[in-house]
Chains A and B, each alone.
Chain A
């Protein structure tokens, strides 16, 4: 009859994993919490991101790791909201259609802008956009739809300007979106991958991972005239897509970086399980340990 209110488990599974793994590389002295002094000599060092000056000391304003670049001291956090950089590929959702631009939510601090002038409309390639196009904006991208774009510019207040002036970018349809914390995305030159299972994956720098049957590039070229049509995806591809999505979720839950190798490793190792088992605690934990071990040994070999 008596009920006891207890807290969450002592150590979350994902923490256990990252503590058991090879964490010797991390230097304890470099971890700082907000308010910790970083250096007591502001004349010799310059203060960079994540620091401020308090009573003649450089003090950290973030919880993270101290980086030193010559005389510049900065603190980098591990978890943070996505802050855009020029050239990043992002996956966002349209929140509003305004005059001459779309507002896009890319899980950044502020909504991003996608101006009408910097999209590639179906049909003609690079032409001036006129009043007709403005009227047809919501035909092309409605609010709530997903779009893949590149960051063209970061404005002063942190707003991102996007563009989709390439066949690679544009509207996304018929696929699965998995949101991952942006710190888990590993920086890479290539964001568009075709997987050997007859599908494509886009790893957005903002943490959006898009899994679809084919890259938007191929789809657009084939169906330029029937843009809004849906095509039928065979059942085995659909099942593979669901498995990939489950793999990305597993990597996210166990705080393992998301990039092509980790996804394919996870996919291959998960084949002995059913897809639904990937979200069950026991099998997921075991699998995550194995994947982490595999990835770390690969790292030491290379």
Chain B
């Protein structure tokens, strides 16, 4: 309850609040109240984060006020529309389920709505939009940029070249990865040092994965550098880095067993949820990042976060593999289009 009233700044007031309070008095059902509060909270939060830019004064300035009222109006309209649709659809759904009221637990309510939609409107098996560019960095042998929804990663591949003598191996090449995040990648602006524990761990995981993807025996005594920079982080960062790196390696003309594709898969009440966004990752949800070669059964990277019940493991793995295959299809198309475009223009 407290959250409702102290959410915004003290100066933030909505005209419609009084109307809503009247509404509230008529709400008897606790569940209805809870739902109402969720709607109200997300609404305030969304409008606050999208409109309030200036924290220097305790009152709203003109722009902010205009933005807030527009935002509220829009959200209310959307909400009303939803209500109408809900009123039409709900009886049918309830009838199908045989009068059983849908069971809601706290966890599930956060991530998946009772109708099976996530916060961003996806189904549990849907991935976010993938957007890519290849060959952006002229100084690198291969480079790529990938977007998974709002997760944006830039990757550059240098090599194979004669690396440091201390790391040289006689019969194959060494793969060196670096994972870094920009200061503005997360919710708050902060300096993210390169050598910290978390990014070193990510870099090691990438290294191990690509050591088994790249045919390292064809480049004795050499080194390949892969640099991944997360420009905007919105969940599934490691998976996005794997996809970006495999595109960049393909662009660099480095022999591989196949294009690697990766995806993050979480579990909610035994049901797998694919390609998690950062809002969904924040929970205590167990999640697996899985990378396969060519969308086949060959797994090159598995990382598990939080505890996962062993009974859920097979389903999660299967879902993740199937999704990896889907992502692979996307990557393959991208590489093929790029190949066509990057052939040099030759006259006679």
Contact surface of A with B, Cβ cutoff 8 Å: 1-2, 5, 7-10, 12, 15, 17-19, 21, 23, 26, 28, 31, 33-36, 50, 52, 54, 59, 61-65, 77-81, 109-111, 157-158, 183-184, 186, 252-257, 261-262, 265, 292, 294-296, 298-299, 302
Chain A nearest CB from B248 CB (Å) reads 11
Query: Could you tell me the distance between the alpha carbons of A282 and B145 in the complex, rounded to whole angstroms?
Result: 24
**Would you give the shortest CB distance from B308 to chain A, in whole angstroms?**
29
Shortest B218–chain A CB gap in Å is 9
B residues whose Cβ falls under 8 Å from a Cβ of A: 50, 53-54, 131, 133, 135-136, 138, 141-142, 145, 147, 152, 159-162, 184, 215, 219-222, 231-232, 250-259, 293-294, 331-332, 335-336, 339-348
Contacts of A261 in B (CB 8 A): 347
Given contacts A7-B133, A8-B136, A61-B255, contact A26 B343 (CB under 8 A): yes
**Which of B135, B222, B345, B347 is within 8 Å of A12, CB to CB?**
B135
If A8-B133, A33-B336, A81-B253 touch, whether A18 touches B162 (CB-CB below 8 Å) is no
Q: A12-B133, A110-B222, A157-B220 are in contact. Are A78 and B257 (CB under 8 A)?
A: no
Which residue, of A8, A79, A299, has the highest number of chain B Cβ atoms within 10 A? A79
- Alpha-carbon gap, A110 to B215, bound state (A): 17
User: What is the bound-complex CA distance between A165 and B223, given in angstroms?
Assistant: 32
Bound form: Cα–Cα A262–B345 in Å: 10
Residues on A with C-beta less than 8 A from B336 are 28, 31, 33
Question: Which residue of chain B has its CB nearest to the CB of A9?
Answer: B133
The reply to whether B162 and A109 form a contact with Cβ atoms under 8 Å apart is: yes
8 CB contacts below 8 A, A to B, read A7-B131, A17-B345, A26-B343, A54-B257, A80-B252, A81-B253, A109-B159, A298-B347
Q: Are A64 and B345 closer than 8 Å at their CB atoms?
A: no
Q: How many A-B residue pairs have CB under 8 A?
A: 154
Asked if B162 and A79 sit within 8 Å, CB to CB, the answer is no
A265 to B348, CA, bound (A): 12
- Kindly provide the distance from the CB of B312 to the nearest chain A CB, expressed in whole angstroms: 29
B141 A2 Cβ-Cβ under 8 A: no
Known contacts: A262-B347, A295-B345, A299-B348. The answer to whether A34 contacts B162 by CB under 8 A is no
Contacts of A110 in B (CB 8 A): 161-162, 221-222
CB pair B162–A257 under 8 Å, yes or no, is: no
Which residue in chain A gives the minimum CB-CB distance to B146? A7
* B331 partner residues in chain A, CB cutoff 8 A: 33
Check B145–A7 contact: CB distance below 8 A: yes
Q: State which of B215, B257, B344 has its C-beta within 8 Å of the C-beta of A255.
A: B344
Complex: A80 Cα to B54 Cα, angstroms: 50
Minimal Cβ-Cβ distance residue in A for B246: A34
Q: Do A34 and B258 have beta carbons less than 8 Å apart?
A: yes
> Does the CB pair A64–B339 fall under 8 Å?
yes
The answer on a CB contact under 8 Å between B259 and A109 is no
Query: What separation, in Å, do the CA atoms of A102 and B20 have in the docked complex?
Result: 82
Given contacts A2-B53, A33-B250, A81-B141, contact A296 B345 (CB under 8 A): yes
Q: Are A257 and B159 in contact (CB under 8 A)?
A: no
| B66 CB, min distance to chain A CBs, angstroms | 13
A78 and B255 alpha carbons, distance in the complex (Å): 13
- Name which residue of chain B comes closest to A19, CB basis: B341
CB atoms of A111 and B162 under 8 A apart: yes
Contacts of A158 in B (CB 8 A): 219-220
Partner of A183, one of B145, B341, B344: B344
Chain A residues, CB < 8 A from B219: 109, 158
Q: In the bound complex, how far is the Cα of B339 from the Cα of A19, in angstroms?
A: 11
CB distance from A116 to the nearest CB of B (A): 21
Question: CB-nearest residue of chain B relative to A254?
Answer: B345
Cα A24 to Cα B231 with chains together (Å): 37
Chain A residues near B344: list those with CB within 8 A: 18, 78, 183-184, 255-257
* B348 close to A35 (CB less than 8 A): no
Please tell me if the beta carbons of B147 and A23 are within 8 angstroms of each other in the complex. Answer: no
Quote the shortest CB–CB distance from A4 to chain B (angstroms). Answer: 10
A33 proximity list for chain B (CB < 8 A): 250, 259, 331-332, 335-336, 339
Closest partner residue, chain B, to A107 (CB atom): B161
Residues in chain A near residue B339, CB distance under 8 A: 31, 33, 63-65, 78
B residues near A292, Cβ cutoff 8 Å: 345
CA A23 to CA B258, docked complex, whole Å: 27
Find chain B residues with CB under 8 A from A59 CB: 258
Q: Least Cβ distance of B95 to chain A in Å? A: 45
- Residues of chain A within 8 A (CB-CB) of B254 are 62
Chain A nearest CB, measured from B84 CB (Å): 32
Given A79-B252, A81-B253, is A7 in contact with B343 using a C-beta cutoff of 8 Å? no
User: In the bound complex, how far is the Cα of B145 from the Cα of A59, in angstroms?
Assistant: 26
Q: How far is the CB of B316 from chain A (nearest CB, A)?
A: 24
Q: What chain B residues lie within 8 Å of A63 (beta carbons)?
A: 250-251, 253, 335, 339
Q: Which residue of B lies closest to A27 (CB)?
A: B340
Q: Judging by beta carbons under 8 Å apart, are B258 and A78 in contact? A: no
Kindly provide the distance from the CB of A12 to the nearest chain B CB, expressed in whole angstroms: 7
Cα–Cα, bound, A109→B162 (Å): 6
| Distance in angstroms between the alpha carbons of A184 and B344 in the assembled complex | 6
Expressed in whole angstroms, the Cα–Cα distance for A2 and B147 within the complex equals 21
Min distance, Cβ A82 to any Cβ of chain B, angstroms:
10
Q: Are A109 and B342 in contact (CB under 8 A)?
A: no
Report the bound CA distance from A1 to B256 in whole Å: 45
Taking a contact as CB atoms under 8 Å apart, the answer to whether A79 and B141 are in contact is yes
| Bound CA–CA A294/B40 (angstroms) | 64
A34 engages B342 (CB within 8 Å) = no
B346 surroundings in chain A (CB, below 8 A): 186, 257, 295, 299
Closest B residue to A49 by CB, please name it: B255
Report how far A17 CA is from B343 CA in the complex, Å.
Answer: 11
Is the Cβ of B332 less than 8 Å from the Cβ of A298?
A: no
Cα A143 to Cα B46 in complex, Å, equals 60
The docked-state distance in angstroms from the alpha carbon of A157 to that of B160 is 13
Chain A residues, CB < 8 A from B256: 34-35, 61-62
